[in-house]
Amino acid sequence: MSFTFQQQETVSLLKQLVEIPSPSGYTKEIMDFMEQFLKEINVDYKRTNKGALIATIKGDNDTKHRLLTAHTDTLGAMVKEVKSSGRLKLSMVGGFNWNAVEGEYCTIHTAEGKKIRGTILMHQTTVHVYKNATALARDEQNIEVRIDEKVTNADQTRKLGIEVGDFVSFDPRFEQTDTCFIKSRHLDDKASTALLLQLMKAIKENSWTLPYTTHFYISNNEEIGFGGNSSIPEQTVEYIAVDMGAIGDGQASDEYTVSICAKDSSGPYHYELTRNLVELAKKEGIDYKLDIYPYYGSDASAAIRAGFDVKHALFGPGIEASHAYERTHVDSLENTAKLLYSYINSEIL
């Protein structure tokens, strides 16, 4: 295999990506960054009405296409209510547990473009005042944002420009340990996005000729269920979602290998295409795990449900503690990068 994984460059790009706030519905800045990246590496692309980018690299065969997608949107929240105390109630964007963001620093993005800092807390946090706080539900009622401004009532908060409908992003707290773990929020799915961008860059820099025209679909609405399910070029035969592997009790996935998904909540992925990915991994000596994700859907299954006639599959890096403070290891990124490389150079079934 003539592919070399650019570890530090990939990790630096990943850090840049997670540090751009991009809850689903508020992805203009991250998609502008993507567009700039594609311009710099000289890849043709188009932007869809929904805000996604479809980059295309022509291959030897231009009648059968393949498509790879990763998503840049992340979990986040919206201001639901300005409370009489001047603090904020939140409404979730995407699916997570409130305890996963309790204590997290956040930014409120006002309509005028101001960024106001705050902390997500239980209303009943102070142990010197609230006796039974541990027994209370972490939910929309009890979770609030303490704003880092001198406010004690709703009018003062509104004067800052904060209103219902403002987006709230969570600090990623990116850290690369000297043991090569990456700890950060939003590794789902910015880890895969970084891998796709790096792959396109390598194709251009090395002037590799791909066997088939290949689309790289950077989607921006996956966490809310409709990322890459439109504007799919009609020649597309194979559709691969590059998204996180789910780790937990009874799961095969881990933080060191590439996870290939056989089935998730949406049903089985395309059997022959999935087997083909496993055979590629075996042939190239790529460490992989074949797994089933119990509570999971992807842009590939969303595309199938939207009615597209494609063969669909899903693989990606294993992400520990998904939709919370996530972690993976560079080994998982490397194995995913290698499978991506061998896949884009393989035959379409």
H/E run at residue 275: helix 271-284
Catalytic residue among 9, 19, 149, 222: 222
Instruction: Enumerate residues 6+ apart whose C-beta is below 8 A from 198.
Output: 6, 9, 10, 13, 337
Residues that bind Zn ion (CB under 5 A): 188-189, 243
Minimum Å gap between C-beta 244 and Zn ion is 5
The residue to which tokens 């929240």 are assigned: 77
Based on CB atoms, which residue is closest to Zn ion, 108 or 258? 258
* SS3 assignment for 294-325: CCCCCHHHHHHHCCCCCEEEEEEEEEECCCCC
The 8 Å CB, 24+ separation contacts for 155-163 are 156/86, 157/82, 157/86, 157/87, 157/88, 158/82, 160/110, 160/114, 160/116, 161/110, 161/111, 161/112, 161/114, 161/116, 162/79, 162/82, 162/88, 162/108, 162/110, 162/116, 163/79, 163/82, 163/110, 163/111
Based on CB atoms, which residue is closest to Zn ion, 59 or 227? 227
Minimum Å gap between C-beta 183 and Zn ion is 17
How far is Cα 103 from Cα 128, in angstroms, rounded to an integer?
17
Minimum Å gap between C-beta 239 and Zn ion is 15
3-class SS of residue 343 = helix
Based on CB atoms, which residue is closest to Zn ion, 192 or 214? 192
Minimum Å gap between C-beta 300 and Zn ion is 11
Based on CB atoms, which residue is closest to Zn ion, 189 or 334? 189
Minimum Å gap between C-beta 91 and Zn ion is 20
Based on CB atoms, which residue is closest to Zn ion, 74 or 345? 74
The CA-atom distances, in angstroms, between 7 and each of 188, 194, 203, 332 are 18, 11, 16, 11
Minimum Å gap between C-beta 299 and Zn ion is 8
Based on CB atoms, which residue is closest to Zn ion, 166 or 189? 189
How far is Cα 71 from Cα 289, in angstroms, rounded to an integer?
22
Q: Is 222 a catalytic residue?
A: yes
Catalytic residues, by residue number, are 222
